Amino acid sequence: MPDTTDILILDAPGGINGIMLQEIVAKSELIIVPVTPSPIDIHATAKFIKDLLIFGKVRARKVDVAVIANRVRSSMPTYEPFERFLSSLGLPMLSRIQDSDTYLAAVEQGIGVFELDAAQSMPERQEFLPIIKWIDRHFAPAMAINSSKVINLEAARKLSAI
């Protein structure tokens, strides 16, 4: 990894545990856990979060953890027990990413949702803003020290959400 790297995003495999979990947590500052709001996925995610806390020692290592609900349909019921579980652990639910045809359109074109026409993807872009703000709050103070390499995320948000 180049010395100029300020932020590295790793998409870790699902269901990691043991030594691999400990190694990934040891190298992390933030962990975002996506969860599909289905009973099976919620149960698996609850177990994974417990593993993060117990075996990954995220609190001792001062690794911030948050959750995003992924592929949410407007017809889905809310999962209040899961949200209470997260709240009891002090873990925020950053955003609910809707199950939208816009994501399929982006995949079919081989691009991300932020590369689509803004008018076509505005609701989807807005769903990512709480995630970007959470990451920005964590890294902004440290990155201000090396301001020549900093991308102004506030300006980037304005451009990407227009």
Task: Give the pLDDT confidence of 30-62 residue by residue, as tens digits.
Answer: 999 998 878 888 888 888 888 998 888 888 999
> Which DSSP letter does residue 112 get?
-
Q: Which CATH number belongs to the domain containing residue 83 in this structure?
A: 3.40.50.300
Higher pLDDT, 1 or 149: 1
User: Given this model, what pLDDT does residue 159 score?
Assistant: 46
Per-residue burial over 139-157, b if 16 or more Cβ lie within 10 Å, else e, is eeeebeeeeeeeeebeeeb
Task: Read off the pLDDT of each residue in 74-79 and give the average, rounded to a whole number.
Answer: 69
**In a shared domain, residues 60 and 117:** no
Same structural domain, 68 and 125: no
Let me know if residue 37 belongs to a domain.
Answer: yes
Q: What letter represents residue 79's amino acid?
A: Y
Only one residue has tokens 């991300």, namely: 112
Residue 66: strand pairing partners? 32
Give tens-digit pLDDT for 114-161: 999 999 999 999 999 999 999 988 887 665 555 454 555 555 554 444
Burial letters for 33-69: b for 16+ Cβ neighbours within 10 Å, e otherwise?
Answer: bebbbeeebbeebbebbebbeeebebeeeebbbbbbb
Domain of residue 135, residue span: 112-162
Rounded Cα distance between 10 and 124, Å, is 22
Give yes or no: residues 116 and 95 share one domain: no
